[in-house]
Amino acid sequence: MQANGSAITRRHFLQSAAAGVALAGIGAPAFVRGAAPLAHQPLPYAEGALAPVIGAQTVGIHWGRHHKFYVDNLNKLVIGTPFEGQPLDKIVMGTAGKADQQALFNNAGQIWNHDFYWQSLKPGGGGKPPAKLAKKIDEAFGNFDEFRKQFAAMTVSQFGSGWGWLVADGAGKLKVVKTANAEVPMTQGLKPLVTIDVWEHAYYLDYQNKRADYVNALIDKLLNWEFAEKNLG
């Protein structure tokens, strides 16, 4: 997990640095443009590592085709726009809620969400969160079981494609929310801690219509609480 967190930081730093050089304009070496494409972030574990909760085939298609498709799309869509060479979070926030930037937002939002989703899971995850986060959960929800119930209910109830989230609001209070399609919590001033993907492609090969079974299994066996605590800051 630690190595993966560092990789993201490094990637965003390089992209920001590349954008900075590009802004400097004259004399920017040609390879800077080549450095701009957004990366398809590697999985932080093997494709089979989340089995049997999420099968290797699901992870292979989800990461290798759906997630990659969004990366390939975005790298094409940004060409010649003000977003070329910008870091992913800047593209997400710069296009959110703008009808004429919908295609850019959908692809950027979905890359961001999937990057966050893979890190929200880990083999042998789930169980009880570490002390600092556990205290915040108890403060917000009363106890862990109540949080678990609310997180599952909120996530399962997302109608159509979307995401369930544990977030911190502006006052630092934890909440569970859902977002549709490619929407992200940051546009509502919420800081995401962990997410669960409930696009049907995330679970259909393993669970078909039984979305609740997928969500409960993921909460109990895969959630990466260290990642959530790190995001809490």
Run of H or E residues at 180:
strand 174-180
96 sits near another protein (criterion: CB under 8 A): no
Q: Tell me the CA end-to-end span of the chain in Å, nearest whole number.
A: 16
56 sits near another protein (criterion: CB under 8 A): no
Q: Which of 121, 167, 182, 218 binds another protein (CB under 8 A)?
A: 182
Q: Is 224 exposed, middle or buried (0-12, 13-18, 19+ CB in 10 A)?
A: buried
Kindly indicate which of the ranges 62-70, 123-131, 187-195, 224-232 contains the residues binding another protein, using the contact rule CB under 8 A: 62-70
Kindly indicate which of the ranges 2-10, 63-71, 83-91, 218-226 contains the residues binding another protein, using the contact rule CB under 8 A: 63-71
Kindly indicate which of the ranges 14-22, 46-54, 147-155, 201-209 contains the residues binding another protein, using the contact rule CB under 8 A: 201-209
> Distance of CA 24 to CAs 16, 20, 92, 103, Å?
12, 6, 23, 28
Footprint (CB under 8 A) of another protein, residues 140-159:
159
204 sits near another protein (criterion: CB under 8 A): yes
Q: Is 159 exposed, middle or buried (0-12, 13-18, 19+ CB in 10 A)?
A: exposed
200 sits near another protein (criterion: CB under 8 A): yes
Rounded distance between C-alpha atoms, residue 119 and residue 172, angstroms: 21
Rounded distance between C-alpha atoms, residue 62 and residue 218, angstroms: 16
Q: Which of 15, 41, 86, 106 binds another protein (CB under 8 A)?
A: 106
Residues engaged in binding another protein (CB under 8 A): 61, 65-66, 69, 102, 106, 159-162, 180-182, 199-201, 204-205, 208-209
